[in-house]
């Protein structure tokens, strides 16, 4: 953008709009591009503290620092190979897009990293951190998957509390959330999600839209077959934090992918699964090893799409750039692979509950057939 830290300016510019008597969520003349503030109203609590557009650079540097701190938190003992993969992800155009824009997803990454660190010893603190991210940007709620580390009773109790708190928050802020939805731009290029491909085609292409939903449904059916596989290694890792980070990052990608369009800078959360994927890729479980290698390669290609597009963006196929089609293929491969591995790595108590439920349903079906 013509000004650095462009996404952060919609927030700091809102302080100037507020000073002029405007509600920045409705009218935001303080933003250089007059974009409406599309963050929950909780962010405006910064304004009484004296935050102004003059603080944009300082806040941007702070966000970048917190993001890098979050990366360090989830890498307690990385091997050389894991470090190379993580550095490749950090230096990718998708990550640097978020850095250049000063997007608050950098702060969300830090909060999710904190929840990962806390999950092993303080699951309640982890849940509270996840909720704070939800209150600020909504999508970090998917990171509650990190609580799978806890026992069954603790997990169910914390998830229930999180869902009740999230429901109350949504009800209380529903009108603001509607404003946020209408003010948020939906991207096609440099984006990922279930809606991106069909939106790139001519308007009214319902067949492509239905195909997208059908592929997701098939991916879910395929993914659930992983629940039948015994997990022999995921719970016994040298660094349990890697499995927790995998679950948080994978859940965020899967959840945000399923619910629509996301700008590519949100791919920074794919940094979290990298260490565990690298471990599985070198493991003895064939399905996990192959899936992890496919996901890792597809992730890196997706993260580096902006650079790849410079060289292949002019090659067209049916009026759609070939590099765009390949990028969507990579991102769908990441979705399917992460879904399989996420379910495959479920703790034993989850798989046991699924098997028990499946047995009960089979008995009910058999009795009805009689």
User: For 236-251, what is each residue's pLDDT tens digit?
Assistant: 455 789 999 999 999 9
| Domain range summary for the chain, segments of one domain joined by + | 52-361
Name every residue whose Cβ is closer than 8 Å to that of residue 284 and which is 6 or more positions away in sequence: 233
Residue closest to 58 by CA, chosen among 16, 17, 11:
11
Q: Which has more confidence, 215 or 263?
A: 263
Q: Which of 108-112, 148-152, 184-188 reaches the highest mean pLDDT? A: 108-112
Q: What is the mean pLDDT of residues 248-277?
A: 95
Q: What is the pLDDT of residue 263?
A: 92
The alpha carbon dihedral of 128, 101, 28, 185 has a sign of negative
Least confident of 9-23, 33-47, 167-181, 338-352: 338-352
Least confident of 78-92, 156-170, 185-199: 185-199
* Whether pLDDT at 257 is above 90: yes
Residue 288 pLDDT grade (very low, low, confident, very high; cuts 50, 70, 90): confident
**C-alpha span between 215 and 136 (Å, rounded):** 32
- The fraction of the chain above a pLDDT of 90, given in percent, is 65
Q: What is the mean pLDDT of residues 20-24?
A: 96
Q: What is the pLDDT of residue 245?
A: 97
Residue 369 pLDDT grade (very low, low, confident, very high; cuts 50, 70, 90): low
Residue corresponding to tokens 């009960």: 360
Least confident of 39-53, 57-71, 222-236, 317-331: 222-236
Q: What is the pLDDT of residue 234?
A: 46
Q: What is the mean pLDDT of residues 146-174?
A: 96
Q: What is the pLDDT of residue 61?
A: 97
Produce one character per residue of 98-134: b if its CB has 16 or more CB atoms within 10 Å, e if not. Answer: bbbbbbbbbbbbbbbbbbbbbbeeebeebbbbbbbbb
* Whether pLDDT at 231 is above 60: no
Residue 1 pLDDT grade (very low, low, confident, very high; cuts 50, 70, 90): confident
Q: What is the mean pLDDT of residues 242-265?
A: 94
* Whether pLDDT at 50 is above 80: yes
CB hemisphere CA count around 138 (13 angstroms): 16
Q: What is the pLDDT of residue 108?
A: 98
Give yes or no for a contact between 56 and 102, defined as CB atoms under 8 angstroms apart.
yes
């Amino acid at each position: 953008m013509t000004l650095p830290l462009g996404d952060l300016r919609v927030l700091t510019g809102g302080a100037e709009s507020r000073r002029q008597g405007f509600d920045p969520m409705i009218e935001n003349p303080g933003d250089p591009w007059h974009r409406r503030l599309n963050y929950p109203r909780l962010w405006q609590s910064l304004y009484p503290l004296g935050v102004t557009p003059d603080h944009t650079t300082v806040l941007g540097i702070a966000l970048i620092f917190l993001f890098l701190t979050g990366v360090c938190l989830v890498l307690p003992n990385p091997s050389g190979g894991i470090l190379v993969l993580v550095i490749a992800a950090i230096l990718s155009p998708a990550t640097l897009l978020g850095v250049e824009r000063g997007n608050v997803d950098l702060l969300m990454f830090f909060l999710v990293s904190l929840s990962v660190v806390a999950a092993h010893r303080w699951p309640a603190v982890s849940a509270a951190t996840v909720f704070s991210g939800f209150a600020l940007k909504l999508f970090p709620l998917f990171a509650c998957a990190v609580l799978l580390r806890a026992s069954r009773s603790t997990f169910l109790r914390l998830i229930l509390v999180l869902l009740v708190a999230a429901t109350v928050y949504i009800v209380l802020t529903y009108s603001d959330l509607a404003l946020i939805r209408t003010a948020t731009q939906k991207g096609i290029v440099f984006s990922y999600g279930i809606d991106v491909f069909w939106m790139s085609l001519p308007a009214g292409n319902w067949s492509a839209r239905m195909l997208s939903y059908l592929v997701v449904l098939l991916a879910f059916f395929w993914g659930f077959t992983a629940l039948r596989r015994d997990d022999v290694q995921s719970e016994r890792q040298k660094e349990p934090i890697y499995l927790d980070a995998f679950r948080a990052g994978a859940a965020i990608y899967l959840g945000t992918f399923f619910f629509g369009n996301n700008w590519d800078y949100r791919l920074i959360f794919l940094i979290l699964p990298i260490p565990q994927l690298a471990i599985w890729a070198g493991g003895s479980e064939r399905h996990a090893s192959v899936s992890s290698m496919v996901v890792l390669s597809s992730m890196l290609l997706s993260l580096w799409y902006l650079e790849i597009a410079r060289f292949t963006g002019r090659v067209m196929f049916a009026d759609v750039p070939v590099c765009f089609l390949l990028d969507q293929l990579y991102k769908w491969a990441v979705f399917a692979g992460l879904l399989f591995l996420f379910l495959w790595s479920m703790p034993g108590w989850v798989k046991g509950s699924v098997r028990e439920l499946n047995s009960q349903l089979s008995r009910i079906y058999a009795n009805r057939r009689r």
